[in-house]
Amino acid sequence: MRKIWLIAAALAWTALASGPARAADVPQLLPDDRVLGKADAPIVIFEFFSLTCPHCAVFEQETLPLVKKNWIDTGKAKLVYRDFPLDKEALFAAVVARCLPPQRYPGFVDVVFANQRDWTTAGDYKAALAKLARVAGMSQQDFDACTGNQKLSDGIMAAEFDAQKRYGIDSTPTFFVNGKKVVGDQAYPDFIKNFAGDPGATGVATAAADQGTLDRIRQWFGALMSRS
């Protein structure tokens, strides 16, 4: 019996020492991400959005300006944009946005959301988006080359599928605030509640709890070994 308990303790120690695999459950920054805010901002907000999503537009026009003023511009937070197009129009717009220089990306996304009703209901949504792109400094020649880039379009769709599979995203907007999943276009007072506490506090608390469990396992394992 003592031998069985020693084996069980050893297995428990091995499992806990290796730690739970959490990395795949939350998004990680990628080299080609479009980011609004300072690189060293402690609060990291991932937003999965569709440019044809009305709820995303509400967040962009009503909540984000306050988040930007009070959190992003002050260096406390940064917003990482992640495309999650819900239809072909959103995919087309996402491709256009991705073809712009990274520093112009947030401004163009803001313009596309601000004019969402106009370009999505236009007889030719592609022509309507071309006009918005020209305002952002994209020539018609560059626009045509961009929207013909099948590799870029396929990459956006592949990333969307990956987000759906890995993070369980099934609606927009969906956010991850320092690893916490937040669904829907929350008003500013509600949205910033997700910033409460020290950035990364959840991860720190989890790590502390894991360490405490490991310490107890060490004591238990040591006691069993002393009796063998």
pLDDT in tens, 139-182: 999 999 999 999 999 999 999 999 999 999 999 999 999 999 99
pLDDT in tens, 56-72: 999 999 999 999 999 99
Q: In the predicted model, what is the mean pLDDT of residues 182-208?
A: 71
SS (H, E, C) the chain: CHHHHHHHHHHHHHHHHHCCCCHHHCCCCCCCCEEECCCCCCEEEEEEECCCCHHHHHHHHHHHHHHHHHHHCCCCEEEEEEECCCCHHHHHHHHHHHHCCHHHHHHHHHHHHHCHHHHHCCCCHHHHHHHHHHHCCCCHHHHHHHHCCHHHHHHHHHHHHHHHHHHCCCCCCEEEECCEEEECCCCHHHHHHHHCCCCCHHHHHHHHHHHHHHHHHHHHHHHHHHHC
pTM of the model: 0.76
pLDDT in tens, 18-49: 343 344 489 999 999 999 999 999 999 999 99
Residue 184 pLDDT > 80, yes or no? yes
